[in-house]
Structure 1
Amino acid sequence: MSPIVYLISGANRGIGLGIVAQLAVRENTVVFAGARNPSGATDLQTLESKYPGKVHIVKLTSTDEADNKAAVAKIQKLAGRLDVVIANAGVSNSYTPSEQVSLDAMREHFEVNVLGPLVLFQASYQLLKASSDKPKFIVVSTAVSSIEVGTKFAIPVLPYGTSKAAVNWLTAKLFWEHPGLVAVALHPGVVDTDITAFAIEQIPELGKFPTITVEESATGVLSVVDAAKRDEETGPKLASYDGTVLPW
């Protein structure tokens, strides 16, 4: 049986690294792990050495079209196709009330959180089409992106929330525009990472929210990814790592 070929962006730390680590121990998988600075991605290097031929580090910078195309060219040479792409790279670093938030912060979040997944999809689409099964394009989103739920959270995350809501729209559009594609926006949980720690430093009340470990998040994310199917009756979903479906 041919291996399942994955590409994970933002794989050098946090949730992305956790996903790569869990995929590496599975039988019949090949994982391409995207990192902006491969030479500094020491944890990924350890996994690549431990699982030779199964884990491959590729240079991948959000919105850098040349980087994305070069990474996909390497995947084409080594694997010839992609079965699952997880657009995990993202940014969340602005915690300012809406009346004070800077346009630069808005631009940065839209650049990384919306254009990044779009560039990744454009670069990887031909290899996804080469999949022998229904290819999957998974975008790591957030519950904060839910207009029905996330806008009611009393936390100042305008750049993050609006950019993730926009990438949800992108994900849904990809679903309908490409009938052979499984496209899902996925909330990974409130995960104990350096990004979450920084957010709590800026907004101490965030510390009241229970967190899950990277390992718990990665397990849940992969469970949802494994089970994801194309259902045109229900359409695209904003799913949570625990299997529940969140409102758009």
Structure 2
Amino acid sequence: MGTLKGKVALVTGGSRGIGAAIARRLAHEGAAVAITYAASPVKAAEVVHGIEAAGGRALAVRADSADAEAVRSAVVQTVKTFGRLDVLVNNAGVATLAALEELSLAEFDRLMAVNVRGLFAATQAAVRHMGEGGRIINIGSTSSDGALFPGMAVYAATKAAVAGLTRGWARDLGPRGITVNNVQPGPVDTDMNPADGPLAAGLKGQIAVQRYGQGDEVASMVAYLAGPEGAFVTGAHLKIDGGLTA
């Protein structure tokens, strides 16, 4: 505890699931934490109140990651409230599974807007406020290396784009002392993909440890990358998937 004392972090999509777990862990490590949310104000308030009740500082900003201007504004509000920005966790994401013939252009555009364009906008805005020791941590997916199910092509493509941006930005920002990494969760027990959901039975049989992951386990890896011990890690793609892709 305390590895991020004096630091400020922004977690997009931080009102629930993996994002909420990350926000709580970074606050536990001493960071002031801002989160964005699109449609869950009650859950966002719960995250903020929990952090504050534990003695931390937190802020919730309504910002749909499909709206680049809203994402940029969230960065500005974070800096205005806490005075700086050291860590950006690009967690916000959406998933749609559909056959090629059935996926609409509107759904395609939404996936790209949130998972790629919003991540780009957040990162571009954030690095303007970061100096030596800055951290960009993207939450990608093991799907970037292969689609496990039919209908995942476009989602997988967005996560492959995240992987590519991570590699390029690591080179771009390394000389400035800013690291960029890609955390790739496998199946994690969330509202989007619950451990007792329709996909779970088939997935568990493919996972080496025979269970879904937990948000706190992903948050631990993010905390490592955000802290001083992760300073020499950049451009990395770190799978946390229970051996799904072993």
Q: What TM-score results when the alignment is normalised by the length of structure 2?
A: 0.81
Aligned pair in 2 of structure 1 residues 76, 38: CA closer, same or farther (>3 Å)?
farther
- In structure 2, which of residues 167, 176, 180 is the aligned counterpart of residue 183 of structure 1? 180
Residue pairs, 1:143-182, within 5 angstroms? 143-146=142-145, 150-151=146-147, 153-178=148-173, 179-180=175-176, 181-182=178-179
**Amino acid corresponding to residue 93 of structure 2 in structure 1:** G
Gap runs ≥5 in structure 2:
none
- Note if contact 1:186-1:241 (Cα within 8 Å) is conserved in structure 2: yes
- In structure 2, which of residues 67, 72, 82 is the aligned counterpart of residue 69 of structure 1? 72
Extract structure 1 runs of 4+ deviating beyond 6 A.
Answer: none
Partner of residue 80, structure 1:
83
**Pair 1:117 & 2:110 matched:** no
Partner of residue 95, structure 1:
97
- In structure 1, which of residues 44, 47, 50 is the aligned counterpart of residue 47 of structure 2? 44
Cα distance between partner residues in 1 of 2:203 and 2:241: 21
Aligned pair in 2 of structure 1 residues 2, 216: CA closer, same or farther (>3 Å)?
closer
Shift of residue 177 of structure 1? 2.0
- Note if contact 1:11-1:33 (Cα within 8 Å) is conserved in structure 2: yes
Cα distance between partner residues in 1 of 2:192 and 2:61: 23
**Pair 1:223 & 2:220 matched:** no
Shift of residue 4 of structure 1? 1.5
- Note if contact 1:139-1:184 (Cα within 8 Å) is conserved in structure 2: yes
RMSD of aligned C-alpha atoms?
3.0
Cα distance between partner residues in 2 of 1:183 and 1:163: 17
- Note if contact 1:199-1:206 (Cα within 8 Å) is conserved in structure 2: no
Secondary structure, aligned partner of 1:239 = strand
Secondary structure, aligned partner of 2:97 = coil
Shift of residue 100 of structure 1? 4.3
Deviation string, structure 1 residues 170-193 (Cα, Å, up to 9, x no partner)? 222212222322111111332100
Shift of residue 75 of structure 1? 2.2
Gap runs ≥5 in structure 1:
none
- Note if contact 1:142-1:188 (Cα within 8 Å) is conserved in structure 2: yes
Secondary structure, aligned partner of 1:33 = strand
How many aligned residue pairs are there?
Answer: 234
Cα distance between partner residues in 1 of 2:223 and 2:103: 35
Deviation string, structure 1 residues 132-181 (Cα, Å, up to 9, x no partner)? x32111110011102xxx24x34431121011101211222212222322
The percent of aligned pairs where both chains have the same amino acid is: 26
Cα distance between partner residues in 1 of 2:241 and 2:218: 9
- Note if contact 2:68-2:117 (Cα within 8 Å) is conserved in structure 1: no
- Note if contact 1:140-1:188 (Cα within 8 Å) is conserved in structure 2: yes
Aligned pair in 2 of structure 1 residues 72, 101: CA closer, same or farther (>3 Å)?
closer
Cα distance between partner residues in 2 of 1:207 and 1:183: 30
- Note if contact 1:188-1:220 (Cα within 8 Å) is conserved in structure 2: no
